[in-house]
Structure 1
Amino acid sequence: MQSWSFKEGFGLDNLVKTDEVMPEVGPRDVLLEMHAASLNYRDLVVMQGGHGRSVAPPLVPLSDGVGKIVATGRQVADFAVGDRVCPAFYQHWYGGAPPANLEKGRLGGPLDGVLATHRVFAAETLVRIPEYLSDAEAAALPCAGVTAWSALNEPTSLRSGETVLVQGTGGVALMALQLAKAMGARVIMTTSTPAKAKQLRELGADDVIDRSKVSNWHHLVQEMTEGRGVDRVLELGGATTLNTSVKSVKTGGTVLLIGNVTGNVAELFLPLLLSRRITLHAVSVGSQETFRSLCKVLQFHRIRPVIGKLFDFDDALLAFGTLESGEVFGKVCVSCQPDRNK
């Protein structure tokens, strides 16, 4: 088997492909032949060494992937050879409230991720995925897909007729757009280029705000909602967009804190929150139970994650650079079998 791993340190110069011995399968484990993996913004943070001391090399990167079971331990009863499954992002969050040691169970740091041809997982950490999805589409689900679904259902579920504002065109944003439309909501999207604005409308967005053409875009949101504001905002930007999100949400509305791509430290004008009873709610992917719920919804509505580009296994380094450029609309993925796309 082969894997990509940060060996001596972080940074792309330290991400190397190596040959390894095929791992052994324990009595409650399964061996996956990995078919595809997808990248998230979090993987860039890991690559840059920005995830703290708990995430350290040597480390196999990427949390999101899909594979086919090629061997099972003798105590495994719920899965069989040939099943196609995704490992859950949180390997120890099965359902209900998150465990106290939540961060310790994440794939792609601190636990080894899925950028490999084969991986062994405990059977209880796997989720079956809809058969109509391609390998790349299925690989987009464990982090980005589950995060989007969680953001539309926490702390309460989005209802038909409500309006949701979603920032950007990343994997979480595009999945949230499709899911929210399936739930009967009006969706306002923000983006940074006219080309991406056009693509968002084609994907089903009701309104799109091109941030390259307007500053203080919360004024546009207020106009689009006749001064009421949106019911919830999926806040994916971070420090520089949080105040604008708060100004865009209705009195009594909710801002879902998901990403921090523009910075880790934000200043908030507290009267905007206190006087309007705004809820700030942090979303951190979700449990395996949430993942299974997402799969049922995808199956019913036949929703497909948007795939921007699929790289061969040998070109994994290029995938990181492509995601970092922000030029691709949709998920950046890697085939985990060297000859699978040839």
Structure 2
Amino acid sequence: MASHLVYRLSNRGPNHTLKQVSEPKPTISKHEVLVKIEGISLNYRDIVIANGTYPFPIKENVVPCSDGAGEVIEVGSSVEGLEIGDHVIANFDAMNLYGQQKTWTHGHGGPIDGVLREYAAFPASVLVKIPKEAKMSFTQMASLVCTGVTAWNALYGNVPLKPGQTVLFQGTGGVSITGLILAKAAGATTIITSSSDSKLALVKEKYGVDHTINYKTHPNWAAEALKIAPTGVDFILENGGSGTIGQSLECITLGGVIAVIGLLVQAKQEDMPDVAGLVLGHGAIVRGITVGSKQLLEELVRFVVARGLEMPVDKTFGFEPEEVEKAYEYLRSGSHVGKVCISLE
């Protein structure tokens, strides 16, 4: 039987082991598709799964990583709409085809095996085809899966973003830069925060952000945001969590949307803002974003392809064990502006 290379994660925690092993090449049922993985995009989720702090179910000895893109090499007998040679990506949650995610038990790279491997068998229902005329690399395609849908869900999953509105992004990671690209393409005014002037300059030059705020230079960054948008910001992609949501609520407009995506900055209990009072006072919508459905992924792909957008790949590593470790370490370092990826091409 033919074999392929697979990475499996064991001993989750500070001394986790990410080991490359050889396993039988997957076989498919009549409703499945076999995909040769060509590009993988890492997420902060992959780091917390490895270090043992992910708060949701994880399969033992899991194949990590949720975001992969590749080429169809075999199609089940009952599959329609996909053929050999198609470029595809798989939705983050294998069961979330539309609407709200119902459980935490079907996310690739956590409760079920992910894409850090040469070949993967997927139910045809979870796959989205990327038109070849899009001319995206496989790593850029992979970056649409979790990061792209998270940003799209934040901007279009509830109250849709409108041209001329203002969007604030916290930090320069993949979700923020992807959201920035999407928001600018939709005609929004964009603001991004960071503690690094060099990163802010890079985002200004490379991605054309309209306004930047260094939150170390301006610890009360909400006041700076209100100088840019005196009536308040319409959308905020909240990556900090309890340590930043107080200021997000201070600068959100009446009826604005705060999409809670990350928990990177924790507040001490005694420093917690009065979130309920601030939400009520601003009539704000505060949404927890759990990536999104295949329907949202399809909407995102149509938007990106129609406008010829390129996903922000910061750095790409190889598939060899030392390269994969370097990719994880680079993401862990926080040095990136955009996505950290692994290529099998």
Q: TM-score range by the shorter chain?
A: over 0.9
Q: Which runs of 5+ in 2 are unaligned?
A: none
2:296 maps to what in 1?
A: 290
Q: Write the deviation string for residues 76-125 of structure 1: whole angstroms up to 9, x where unpaired.
A: 12211111100110111111x22532x11111101111000111111111
- Give the alignment partner of residue 169 of structure 1, picking from 172, 195, 214: 172
Paired residues of 1:12 and 1:317 also in contact (CA < 8 A): no
1:212 maps to what in 2?
A: 216
Alignment pair present for 1:268 and 2:253: no
Alignment pair present for 1:98 and 2:100: yes
Paired residues of 1:150 and 1:283 also in contact (CA < 8 A): yes
Distance in 2 separating the partners of 1:265 and 1:124: 44
2:199 maps to what in 1?
A: 196
Distance in 2 separating the partners of 1:134 and 1:319: 18
Which stretch shows the higher mean deviation, 46-55 or 72-81?
A: 46-55
1:142 aligned counterpart, secondary structure: helix
Q: How does 1:306-317 map to 2 (within 5 A)?
A: 306-314=312-320, 315-317=323-325
Q: Write the deviation string for residues 291-310 of structure 1: whole angstroms up to 9, x where unpaired.
A: 01101100111110111111
2:61 maps to what in 1?
A: 58
1:111 maps to what in 2?
A: 112
Q: Which runs of 5+ in 1 are unaligned?
A: none
Change (3 A) 1:327 1:125: same
Change (3 A) 1:258 1:265: farther
Q: 1:23 Cα shift?
A: 1.2
- Give the alignment partner of residue 186 of structure 1, picking from 184, 189, 195: 189
Q: TM-score normalised to the size of structure 1?
A: 0.94
Which stretch shows the higher mean deviation, 269-278 or 54-63?
A: 269-278
Paired residues of 2:16 and 2:50 also in contact (CA < 8 A): no
Q: How does 1:1-342 map to 2 (within 5 A)?
A: 1-11=4-14, 13-52=16-55, 54-95=57-98, 97-101=99-103, 103-131=104-132, 132-202=135-205, 203-226=207-230, 228-263=231-266, 267-269=272-274, 270-314=276-320, 315-335=323-343, 337=344, 340=345
Q: 1:9 Cα shift?
A: 3.9
Distance in 1 separating the partners of 2:278 and 2:162: 24
Q: 1:246 Cα shift?
A: 0.7
1:296 aligned counterpart, secondary structure: helix
The count of corresponding residues between Structure 1 and Structure 2 is 334
Q: 1:154 Cα shift?
A: 3.0
Change (3 A) 1:193 1:8: closer
Paired residues of 2:38 and 2:71 also in contact (CA < 8 A): yes
Distance in 2 separating the partners of 1:160 and 1:138: 26
Distance in 2 separating the partners of 1:20 and 1:287: 30
Paired residues of 2:12 and 2:51 also in contact (CA < 8 A): no
Q: 1:13 Cα shift?
A: 4.0
Distance in 1 separating the partners of 2:341 and 2:18: 17
Identity %: 32
1:105 aligned counterpart, secondary structure: coil
Q: Which amino acid aligns with 1:155?
A: N
